[in-house]
């Protein structure tokens, strides 16, 4: 990993107070604004050069929207996204197109993200054409090189996506993302649509490419065991907000937020008769996830949190009214929970 002159790791991406609201309208001709779906609601984090930040949470919590807002595929409602100290939310047109050479995305569904009417060669070379990189024979040789890098036969260049398996298609998606030699890649649940036997191959490929090309990843997933394997730090997201952020070892050994504890309690241990599995305390959450169009007042997790009464008794704080601050409670361990108010320095 790259460090600066002071020995500290460089920050490649800074996200501050990011919001992504989708308007709710009523009417066909004259549309009236009735409210907003708060897909991403005021989140902040940094990503260091060469690291992998895992972003986890249940379906619909805003993980994929966060990735797309960072890449400006969705224009954020508010907040700041700085890539190498360049503000992305204010640039557009040709400047934005040039910046996108440095930021790429691997999409979730390898069956939907590849154009079935284009050959593999055309799919991978399209970013090279858009960014005017190489021409003719040199571009074709670059495509063959990329296929070889991701573990596919270079002579597959004239085949179509339907001739490949799901794992092979995702490798094609990885090759397309690598084509313009980016610095930062958003991996949007890149293995969720693949067989379990193939998932490990794709994860190992991503780790190898990261080491080889000094890549930085935002790895979005809902499988905590996968995130633990590939990530350096992990951010846990619930209903549009990040509720906990720390390194992977600390998160799995000492989760502080009740939602993180519930997620980890659901991760099975490979040996079902192991002592750790027998002694593990299950956390069963009651109720359903509230609508992002009408999130709860106070803490977003208060409607399902088993610690609400304990917070009132120990701290005298009503979680249903007072929203917790996302603060550092220990070294590089950030939590948004009133339960740990007293732990904050």
pLDDT digits (tens, 9 = 90+) for 287-336: 888 899 999 999 999 999 988 888 888 888 899 999 999 999 888 999 99
Average pLDDT score over the chain: 88
Q: Are residues 192 and 184 in contact, defined by beta-carbon separation less than 8 angstroms?
A: no
Bridge-partner residues for 238, per DSSP?
A: 241
- The enclosing domain of 207 has a CATH number of 3.40.50.300
> For residues 80 and 340, what is the distance between their CA atoms, to the nearest angstrom?
28
CB neighbours of residue 321 within 10 Å: 11
Residue 279 belongs to a domain: no
157 closest CA partner among 176, 144, 142: 144
Do 107 and 188 meet the contact criterion of CB atoms below 8 Å apart?
yes
133: in domain = no
d(CA 293, CA 266): 27
For residue 250, give both structure tokens. 């600390």
Dihedral (CA of 206, 210, 215, 220) sign: positive
- Predicted TM-score of the model (pTM): 0.89
Closest CA to 51 of 206, 276, 239, 214: 214
Residue 279, number of CB atoms within 10 A of its CB: 7
Q: Is residue 65 part of a domain?
A: yes
Is 194 within the bounds of a domain? yes
Q: How far is C-alpha 106 from the chain's CA centre? A: 11
DSSP string over 223-263: -HHHHHHH-SEEEEEETTEEEEEEEHHHHHHS--SHHHHHH
- Whether 236 maps to a domain, the answer reads yes
Q: Is residue 325 part of a domain?
A: no
The count of other CB atoms within 10 Å of the CB of residue 8 is: 9
Residues of the domain holding 189: 11-25+35-102+182-254
**Which distant-in-sequence residues (6+ apart) come within 8 Å of 293 by Cβ?**
24, 35, 36, 37, 38
Among candidate residues 171, 79, 77, 157, the one with its CA nearest the CA of residue 120: 157
Task: Give every CB contact of residue 123 below 8 A, 6+ residues apart in sequence.
Answer: 114, 115, 161, 172, 176
Total domain count, the chain? 1
Burial 40-66 (b: 16+ CB within 10 A, else e): bbbbebbbbbbbbbbbbbeeebbbbbb
In a domain, 219, yes or no: yes
Rounded to the nearest 10°, the torsion over CA 134, 138, 143, 144 is: -170
Q: Which is it for the CA torsion 146, 151, 157, 162, positive or negative? A: negative
User: Each residue's pLDDT tens digit in the chain (345 positions)?
Assistant: 444 444 446 999 999 999 999 999 887 777 888 889 999 999 999 999 999 999 999 888 999 999 999 999 999 999 999 999 999 999 998 999 999 899 999 998 888 889 999 999 999 999 999 998 888 899 999 999 999 999 999 999 999 999 999 899 999 999 999 999 999 999 999 988 788 888 888 999 999 999 999 999 999 998 888 888 899 999 999 999 999 999 999 999 899 999 999 988 877 766 555 555 556 677 778 888 889 999 999 999 999 998 888 888 888 889 999 999 999 988 899 999 998 865 544
In sequence order, which residues have a C-beta less than 8 Å from that of residue 139 and are 6 or more positions away?
125, 128, 129, 133
Q: Is residue 249 part of a domain?
A: yes
């Amino acid at each position: 990993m790259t460090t600066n002159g002071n020995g500290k790791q460089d920050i490649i991406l800074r996200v501050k107070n990011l919001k992504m609201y989708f308007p709710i309208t009523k009417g066909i001709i004259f549309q009236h604004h009735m409210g907003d779906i708060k897909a991403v609601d005021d989140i902040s984090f940094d990503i260091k050069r060469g690291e992998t930040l895992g972003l986890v949470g249940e379906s619909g919590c805003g993980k994929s929207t966060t990735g797309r807002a960072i890449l400006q595929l969705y224009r954020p409602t508010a907040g700041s996204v700085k890539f190498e100290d360049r503000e992305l939310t204010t640039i557009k047109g040709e400047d934005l197109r040039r910046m996108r050479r440095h930021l790429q995305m691997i999409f979730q569904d390898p069956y939907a993200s590849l154009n079935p009417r284009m050959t593999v060669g055309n799919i991978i070379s399209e970013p090279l054409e858009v960014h005017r990189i190489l021409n003719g024979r040199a571009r074709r040789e670059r495509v063959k090189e990329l296929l070889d890098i991701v573990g596919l036969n270079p002579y597959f260049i004239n085949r179509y996506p339907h001739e490949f398996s799901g794992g092979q298609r995702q490798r094609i998606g990885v090759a397309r993302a690598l084509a313009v030699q980016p610095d930062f890649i958003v991996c949007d649940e890149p293995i969720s649509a693949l067989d379990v036997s193939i998932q490990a191959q794709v994860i190992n490929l991503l780790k190898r490419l990261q080491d080889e090309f000094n890549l930085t990843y935002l790895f979005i997933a809902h499988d905590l065991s996968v995130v633990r394997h590939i990530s350096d730090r992990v951010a846990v997201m619930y209903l549009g907000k990040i509720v906990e952020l720390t390194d992977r070892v600390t998160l799995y050994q000492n989760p502080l937020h009740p939602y993180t504890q519930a997620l980890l309690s659901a991760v099975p241990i490979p040996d079902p008769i192991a002592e750790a599995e027998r002694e593990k305390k299950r956390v069963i959450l009651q109720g359903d996830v509230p609508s992002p169009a009408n999130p709860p007042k106070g803490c977003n997790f208060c409607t399902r949190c088993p610690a609400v009464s304990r917070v009132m008794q120990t701290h005298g704080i009503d979680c249903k009214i007072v929203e917790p601050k996302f603060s550092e409670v220990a070294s590089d361990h950030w939590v948004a929970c009133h339960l740990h108010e007293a732990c904050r320095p």
